[in-house]
Amino acid sequence: MATSDRTSNPVLRYLESRKNLAGSAAGLAGLVLTFTGLAGAYWPVVIAGLYGAGALIAPPDLPPVPPFPDPEEELDALRENFATLRTYLAEVDLPPAAAGRLTELDGVVEALLDPRWVADVLKQDPESVHTLSRAVRQDIPEAVDAFVRTRWWNRVAPGAEPPERHLERQLNALHQKMTTIAGELRDAESRRQQAHTIFTEDDL
């Protein structure tokens, strides 16, 4: 609590700042000049001027960078979310076509979240991690939840377009996104292999 009070008080923050420390050091030099008689009758102006000059040239204090999780921690959390999503999906009754597409999608996501060497490749691509994270945490559960709710209303008031069609389209689009990520990671590994081939052949 005491540390928080210091950081929230502008006066205390300035007293601990680099500018004040540099200005104080320069002001001490002014005192030395005063005691040696070099400052003369204008010693207050000399001390104040040296303090101001020291404070002016000192670099500003920078706020600390917030500690965001590293990619490996993000993937670990995403795997836990994926396990939770699977538990939810296991309780939902889906039509055969949508269930089949969801199974295929589940397999691709599982492969992308493999904690072994696949993770080493994936975490080098923050955009793919973001897309995968959105699919697990938002797109898939929202697609299924919207289907379940719409299906209930369709049963109460039939006549609208079957909700499973939208679900299948959404799962198809998500499956395409996941397979695109897998393809891009495959291409990245292929390029790395080709670059190593060129490197080793150049050494011959």
> 28: pLDDT confidence band, cut at 50, 70 and 90?
low
Number of domains in the chain: 2
Q: From CA 81, how far away is CA 73, in angstroms rounded? A: 12
Q: Residues 83, 45: one domain?
A: no
Q: Residues 49, 95: one domain?
A: no
How many residues make up the chain in this entry? Answer: 204
**All residues at 6 or more sequence positions from 58 whose CB lies less than 8 Å from its CB, including other chains:** 18, 19, 21, 22, 23
Q: Residues 167, 91: one domain?
A: yes
Q: Residues 16, 90: one domain?
A: no
Is residue 65 domain-resident? no
Q: Residues 51, 75: one domain?
A: no
Helix (H, G, I), strand (E, B) or coil at 66: coil
Is residue 26 domain-resident? yes
* pLDDT attached to residue 204: 62
Mean pLDDT (whole number) for 14-40: 63
DSSP summary character for residue 160: S
Q: Residues 49, 134: one domain?
A: no
Q: Residues 131, 197: one domain?
A: yes
Is residue 139 domain-resident? yes
Residue-number span of the structural domain to which 147 is assigned: 71-202
Among candidate residues 32, 57, 82, the one where a domain is terminated: 57
pTM value surpassing 0.75: no
Q: Residues 97, 174: one domain?
A: yes
Q: Residues 190, 95: one domain?
A: yes
DSSP summary character for residue 136: I
Is residue 63 domain-resident? no
Q: What is the mean pLDDT of the chain?
A: 80
* Higher-pLDDT residue of 117, 135: 135
> What is the tens place of the pLDDT at every residue in 66-112?
776 677 888 999 999 999 999 999 999 999 999 999 999 999 999 99
Is residue 113 domain-resident? yes
> What is the tens place of the pLDDT at every residue in 103-130?
999 999 999 999 888 888 888 888 999 9
Q: Residues 153, 175: one domain?
A: yes
Q: From CA 117, how far away is CA 66, in angstroms rounded? A: 28
Q: Residues 102, 179: one domain?
A: yes
Residue 94 phi, psi dihedral angles, 5° rounding = -110, 150
